[in-house]
Structure 1
Amino acid sequence: MTAPAPSSSAPTGPTGPARPPADWHTPADGGRPGRTRARTLRTRGSAALVAVTVLAVVLVPPLFPLDQQAVDLAAKLRPPSPDHPFGTDEMGRDLLLRCVYGLRVSLLVGVVAALVATVVGIAVGGLAGALGGRVDRLVMRIVDVFAAVPHLLLGIFIVAMFRPGVWPVIASVGLTHWLSTARIVRAEVHSLRTRPFVDAAISGGASRRRVAVRHLLPGVLPQAGLAAVLMVPHAIWHESALSFLGLGIPAHQASLGTMVESARGTLLAGAWWPALWPGLFIVVPTLAVAGLAGAWRERINPRRRSELML
């Protein structure tokens, strides 16, 4: 007599299928717990850097007020030391304090410009997606025309119409970076318009405004918020580039871009620290914000998350 063939079905317990072991991972985890742990550590590290950055720009200025005009030529270009952990610049000013003050200005520009671009993008993309037809085609052709012009070139044109300052830079960045948000919002609105709950609201007699406010806007906010967070690092880099070119923040005001620009001459004198620290203050916080935005993207888009884990 032959032995019965082994069953291919999952083992069953007294009340149904047996539960998988504790260390078993679903296909969504890709069977790679190491990658999941690395992603978790990366997210926590990014969150810690963002928290430290926010605390620094909030607490340091009141505790250590900085006179933007004060100079000490007797202490110029001193290397890092216990008295000046980051050293001093060509005017004898403490680089640690100036980097924190410059980061505060750059973050202000980045956050406010991202909010401006997000509001404009939601308005333009929502209008195109909700109305559709000729309005949609006309709006998207206008978006394509703006997208054909380099952001930096258009930003230089906007800043050149005003005096150098924080708010002209914010206007320059905000009015040149809404295009991607508009496209994202338009695509999301097109997707939401085909959902059953939107059809039910329209069939129930809801006005177009009510459908847009109650059903379409909440659906696009997560994607628009993600686009805004991703825009903050880009806006900081944009502000730094404009300030480096002498078109952004005034030279006498602490800004990461102006600090890098003024440090070009010190490199020839062998002083590396005036250029190093502002550069790091530009790179590290922007990478931290980008890391948090990536974690948010995986959370609100499970399909993309599964693709990344495979």
Structure 2
Amino acid sequence: MTFGETETAPLLSAPRVRRATNRRLTLGLVVFSAVVLVAVVVAGLAVGGAANQTDFAAKMLAPSLAHPFGTDWMGRDMFLRTLAGLSTSVLVGLGAAVASSLIALVLAAGAALGPRWMDAAVSWLIDLMMGIPHIVLLILISYALGKGFWGVTIGVALTHWPSLTRVLRAEILQCRASGFVAAARQLGASRLAIAWRHMVPFVLPQFLVGLVLLFPHAILHEAAITFLGFGLPPEMPAIGVILSEAMGYLSAGAWWLAVFPGVALVLTVMLFDGVGSGLRRLLDPQSAQE
């Protein structure tokens, strides 16, 4: 080995080490965020009954060691209610995001692989949906379906697919025009085989990232319409319900009724955003090095 080879070898290996370190850190953040979110959901489901227990002898207590988030006007522990509310919001967001992403995938595949009239129809529908404010359309759908858990979930699912549909349509068109798909056609592969072996792996990363990034929007919009009274019922512990009820007591100095649930909602949304951004870095070789 010459002197020049011994000097350049460490320089060539340094970028590889840096890339491996970045990917490990990103993967660690994604796993940590996912574990925290699962723990919040499980804890919220476990304390669902205790979150509704009332104790009028301990009502309107400020945060303390016994009640870290204080108590409300019925003596309910706000820490337990916040956990239960986050669990409900995450479950609504999960159902809505999965349904919305599947709608986006079906419409994108139909627009990219179907006849021209289908592409024009899907494009027109996307423009129509994006021209209407999210919150207005969501309120109308939720109210028409009787509000409640399913009304909110269906409303969020039917209003959050357009952006992901555009992305998936572009990915499918790019895959269809690629050289390896053309080679597969020339080798006699069927449409089903091409779709399963080539298009699904090509579109799957964008689909997963889009699915995860739909969670924050779904959770925030669920909380927004519930806060306005068009979402989940008052007897169901949810962040929107908690914040809506707390508005009547803020003037009395009970700041903890809104601050802690609001901060918990923001942190949950940030965790979902962190998972989505991390997945994007892991699945995109270029952004993994940023």
TM-score in terms of structure 2 length: 0.89
Distance in 1 of aligned mates of 2:270 and 2:26: 11
Letter in 1 for 2:9: R
**Change beyond 3 A, Cα 1:81–1:43:** farther
Instruction: Say which one has the larger Rg.
Output: 1
Instruction: Indicate the larger mover: 214-223 or 51-60.
Output: 51-60
* CA-CA distance at 1:48 after TM superposition: 2.9
Letter in 2 for 1:108: L
Number of paired residues? 289
Equivalences for residues 1-310 of structure 1 within 5 A: 12-13=4-5, 18-21=8-11, 24-25=14-15, 44=28, 47-59=31-43, 61-62=45-46, 64-66=47-49, 70-131=53-114, 133-305=116-288, 309=290
Distance in 2 of aligned mates of 1:21 and 1:259: 56
TM-score in terms of structure 1 length: 0.84
Distance in 2 of aligned mates of 1:65 and 1:303: 44
* CA-CA distance at 1:112 after TM superposition: 1.0
Distance in 2 of aligned mates of 1:45 and 1:263: 33
Superposed CA deviations along residues 62-85 of structure 1, whole A, max 9, x for unmatched, are: 3x4525654322221101112211
Would the aligned equivalents of 1:245 and 1:261 in 2 still touch at CA under 8 Å?
A: yes
The answer to which structure has the higher helix fraction is 2
Superposed CA deviations along residues 80-127 of structure 1, whole A, max 9, x for unmatched, are: 112211110122100111111111100001111110011000000011
Superposed CA deviations along residues 248-283 of structure 1, whole A, max 9, x for unmatched, are: 110111001110111111110001101011101110
Would the aligned equivalents of 2:147 and 2:232 in 1 still touch at CA under 8 Å?
A: yes
**Change beyond 3 A, Cα 1:60–1:169:** closer
Identity of aligned residues (%): 36
Q: What residue in structure 2 maps to residue 7 of structure 1?
A: none
* CA-CA distance at 1:247 after TM superposition: 0.8
Structure 1 residue ranges (4+ consecutive) displaced by more than 4 angstroms after TM superposition: 21-26, 39-47
* CA-CA distance at 1:135 after TM superposition: 2.5
- Return 5+ residue gaps in structure 2 as ranges: none
Distance in 2 of aligned mates of 1:244 and 1:65: 20
* CA-CA distance at 1:236 after TM superposition: 0.5
**Change beyond 3 A, Cα 1:258–1:199:** same
Distance in 2 of aligned mates of 1:235 and 1:47: 21
Distance in 2 of aligned mates of 1:69 and 1:59: 15
Instruction: Indicate the larger mover: 208-217 or 249-258.
Output: 208-217
- Return 5+ residue gaps in structure 1 as ranges: 1-9, 30-35
Distance in 2 of aligned mates of 1:11 and 1:145: 66
Instruction: Indicate the larger mover: 235-244 or 77-86.
Output: 77-86
Superposed CA deviations along residues 32-84 of structure 1, whole A, max 9, x for unmatched, are: xxxx87x976874564344233223214543x452565432222110111221
**Change beyond 3 A, Cα 1:304–1:83:** closer
Distance in 2 of aligned mates of 1:60 and 1:70: 14
**Change beyond 3 A, Cα 1:21–1:87:** same
Distance in 1 of aligned mates of 2:237 and 2:126: 35
**Change beyond 3 A, Cα 1:44–1:201:** closer
Would the aligned equivalents of 1:50 and 1:285 in 2 still touch at CA under 8 Å?
A: no
